[in-house]
Structure 1
């Protein structure tokens, strides 16, 4: 039995998130079916995390185990072509490579990064790929607020309730907005993220950009550790997982 990592990207518009769920199409279900057909044996993947319905990923990793004989070794390039031919167009495999037997796509990741995209004028080419915001935002103050995020580690106020996590502590190392061709992109990087955390952070920072709350109130929200005090979660369509870091993976 050999363990493999698979790197993929996907447009999450048509899917009810990454993780297999009853009565809903997910990315993992499509991938597991394609791998099982291609390798002619049952294949079950385990992903680096779980993205919600409508969330996208430009870089996502999963691992799986495969019975491979010495007579028929896995040919990486041929496998990628074959697997992609069995996948829907919104899911694309980039790499398949062997790893150590104990390598774990979720627990071995040492860092992750997300982008959130906001646009301000109706654009058919950004439908389901960015959040259309109607109004003006004070980006300068939003960036001041983003710097405050870096000062904290307990993000209970941005976490979805009743999640099976042992701690709500995360080490955020980057958080900033930048204007790109009239649109707004938020970048955030951390060692780990809580469920719904990025969308809740953006929703709260947007309230600051609308001058509904102050920087002092942002600190109070974080220190309250109460989700009901933070802003609403922004729509899933603007969120992208863009980077997952492992100490043993070459990029």
Structure 2
């Protein structure tokens, strides 16, 4: 009986599937509660920020709902923060698997990215359901703009995740330093404020940050007339450049180092 040899694509898909299953079982365990904890963690992150703003009686710079304002800022921020950090952690945790001939550096990055994208998407849906339960309407007035903004943020985060994965492979302490970068982005990306209210000089500096554009684009779906100077194309182009840098870095340096 003849057995056809699996194609390279079949092997690639089998490797990715195996890595994703291993990632899920390693991080979540074999029970539904483990999965729930990981999926709900980004949701808890958003709710904690909402609670802090509510306790401090901070008025929303846009609209009347502080909950909605924080959600529109934290949505893209959570996408970027978790995806870029988890891709970096995935390479560190799964590095021993690179001893297998069919497992490549990019396989680990892609498998971790897919799992994390699904987790974040589920977290956003759960957060929106909680908002409905407390009487806040989470449905954007322009859904296509919100979806496009999140997709652009995913692409930008994916590019940054590839770069991070390359850096941490060569310099592991970078994982600790990256936490400081995330904290800085919290304060400079417009999660808790609108850049439009800043002096012109500061506004121009903030607009160099692609995450600021991503947040403004996402908020523009909820607040008509806001974010006219935000550019989703800038976010996509920045992410594409990072993706090319990450792929080139992997081929020239990381592959040899591993």
Normalization by structure 2: what TM-score? Answer: 0.25
The structure carrying a bigger helix percent of its residues is: 2
TM-score under structure 1 normalisation? 0.26
Which structure has the highest strand share of the two? 1
